[in-house]
């Protein structure tokens, strides 16, 4: 397929071409968190996709910042 496609889009059939399979996402797990992303366990925070609260790079990164800011506040920094 790539060989044929290369005829109308030259360069596609190269060693640096990356092919993805279909992406199926499941986000059934979702922790109960406060607005500061603290879990029901005091001083245990959860951020990013693993906590079930984000689905992309930027949101995952921002959620880490939210949790980190609260942690810094608590340790007086």
Ligand X SMILES: Cc1cc2nc3c(=O)[nH]c(=O)nc-3n(C[C@H](O)[C@H](O)[C@H](O)COP(=O)(O)OP(=O)(O)OC[C@H]3O[C@@H](n4cnc5c(N)ncnc54)[C@H](O)[C@@H]3O)c2cc1C
Residues in contact with ligand X by the rule CB under 6 A: 23, 48-50, 54-58, 60
* Residue 50 beta carbon to ligand X: minimum distance, rounded to whole angstroms: 6
Cβ atoms 55, 49 nearer than 8 A: yes
Give the torsion sign (CA, 47, 52, 54, 57).
Answer: positive
Cβ 65 to ligand X shortest distance, Å: 12
Strand partners for 45? 38
Task: Return the number of the residue (10 or 21) whose C-beta is nearest ligand X.
Answer: 21
> Which C-beta is closer to ligand X: that of 6 or that of 60?
60
């Amino acid at each position: 397929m790539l060989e044929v496609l290369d005829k109308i889009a030259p360069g596609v059939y190269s060693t640096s071409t990356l092919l993805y399979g279909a992406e199926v996402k499941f986000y059934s797990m979702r922790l109960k968190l406060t607005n500061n992303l603290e879990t029901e366990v005091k001083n245990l925070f959860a951020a990013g996709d693993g906590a079930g609260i984000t689905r992309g790079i930027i949101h995952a990164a921002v959620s880490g910042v939210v949790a980190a800011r609260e942690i810094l506040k608590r340790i007086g920094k």
